[in-house]
Amino acid sequence: MKRPDLGVAARRDESTEYLPRLGVGIHQAVPFPEYLSLDYVSSSGCCNMIEGGPLYFRERRSVHSPSMELGTDLHCCLLEPDRWLGGVACEYETTADNWASNPGRAERKDILERGLRPIKEKDALFCDTTRTAVLGHPYAGGIYRASDLREVSIVVDLGELDPRWKGHLAKIRLDLGSTKVGMITDLKSGAPTNFRPQGFRAQVWRMKYHLKAAFYVDVAKAAGLPVDWYSWVVVRNEEPVEVACYRCPENWLRLGREEYLWAVDRIISCREAGEFPSPYDDLVDLRGPDAWQETASEEGPSWAIKGSSSVESPDQEQE
């Protein structure tokens, strides 16, 4: 039994269609694998340096997951509609929606050998539903239609940000950008708990989205784009599909800028020295949060004592 031809059930895998190595400038239609292969300073690299230190930064590799693959397809549906709608549909032979089954694995292998990217029918329908929801949203739809930059890759010389870094390149890849509004927009999907304002605010701090926001705004400015603001269009990844829009506050951009500047300086220092040491090469004294140093007692730090309000928990969200 064959599944219906959705017209979007699979799309061509462009992982081998690399362009020449990108130089400084604003580039259109760069395949995502080519962008990822560029060993330039990036916001994710800055986060890795902050999170784990030089060795972790150098050895860190992306781990693909089903949710990441769905995110890739969602971006394609929203940002590259011509490519999405013009994809070649798979001829499904497996009745069960299960790639892990023996028939499913064989089907997936055949799809990949034909140079296509497999996508489950339910995921394709979710992407189409999400696109409709985003375009119909009173604010997200306006952002989308006002954007004159979509899936644009930008490379700049970091000497534009600090003369000490001249000769080192940085890269960003915009989901959406509007030179008329002066804003960059990042598309995100999340579970209901991360979709709502309180949950997404915590997600911003946990994943350092504020660092990415500041890095993208500053690199885009260095490339000559008139942008000052950064926002997120967040899609609830479960039924019913909902869309929310959040703008990154100016104080978050300032904090993100401080963080990425520190990380870039460390990255360049390590590259110039050719050394990427582990932060755990020396004996490390374990310490609690700063609040512990003055308030720790036999009962524990004050923020951990039930009913205490004298010191805010370091895990408590800051406004």
Domain CATH number, residue 63: 3.90.320.10
Q: Is residue 51 located within the same domain as residue 181?
A: yes
Cα first-last separation, the chain: 55
Q: Is residue 307 located within the same domain as residue 248?
A: no
Indicate whether 104 pLDDT > 60. Answer: yes
Choose the weakest-confidence range: 66-80, 268-282, 297-311.
297-311
| d(C-alpha 216, C-alpha 182), whole Å | 12
Q: Is residue 295 located within the same domain as residue 158?
A: no
Q: Is residue 245 located within the same domain as residue 311?
A: no
| Predicted pLDDT at 302 | 39
Indicate whether 37 pLDDT > 50. Answer: yes
Residue where one domain finishes, among candidates 253, 273, 293: 273
Q: Is residue 100 located within the same domain as residue 226?
A: yes
Residue 66 within any structural domain of the chain: yes
Q: Is residue 152 located within the same domain as residue 297?
A: no
Note the maximum CA span of the chain. 70
Q: Which residue has the higher pLDDT, 233 or 282?
A: 233
Indicate whether 315 pLDDT > 90. Answer: no
Indicate whether 100 pLDDT > 70. Answer: no
Indicate whether 159 pLDDT > 90. Answer: yes
Model confidence, pTM: 0.77
CB 216, CB 172: distance < 8 Å:
yes
CB 311, CB 291: distance < 8 Å:
yes
**Could you give the number of structural domains in the chain?**
2
Mean pLDDT score of the chain: 79
Residue 2 within any structural domain of the chain: no
Q: Is residue 225 located within the same domain as residue 123?
A: yes
CA-derived radius of gyration, the chain: 22
CB 226, CB 272: distance < 8 Å:
no
State the average pLDDT over residues 65-74: 72
Q: Is residue 99 located within the same domain as residue 232?
A: yes
Q: Which residue has the higher pLDDT, 304 or 272?
A: 272
CB 226, CB 190: distance < 8 Å:
no
Residue-range definition of the domain harbouring residue 312:
285-319
State the average pLDDT over residues 277-301: 61
Q: Is residue 111 located within the same domain as residue 224?
A: yes
State the average pLDDT over residues 20-32: 85
State the average pLDDT over residues 164-193: 93
Residue 93 within any structural domain of the chain: yes
Choose the weakest-confidence range: 71-80, 221-230, 281-290, 299-308.
299-308
Cis peptide before 240 (omega within 30 of 0): yes
Indicate whether 222 pLDDT > 90. Answer: yes
| d(C-alpha 288, C-alpha 279), whole Å | 18
Residue 278 within any structural domain of the chain: no
| Predicted pLDDT at 144 | 92
Q: Which residue has the higher pLDDT, 103 or 219?
A: 219
Q: Is residue 127 located within the same domain as residue 14?
A: yes
Q: Is residue 43 located within the same domain as residue 172?
A: yes
Handedness of CA 63, 67, 73, 78 (dihedral sign): negative
In this structure, what token pair is assigned to residue 292?
Answer: 């512990």
Q: Is residue 168 located within the same domain as residue 307?
A: no
Residue 279 within any structural domain of the chain: no
Q: Which residue has the higher pLDDT, 171 or 302?
A: 171
Residue 4 within any structural domain of the chain: no
Q: Which residue has the higher pLDDT, 37 or 6?
A: 37
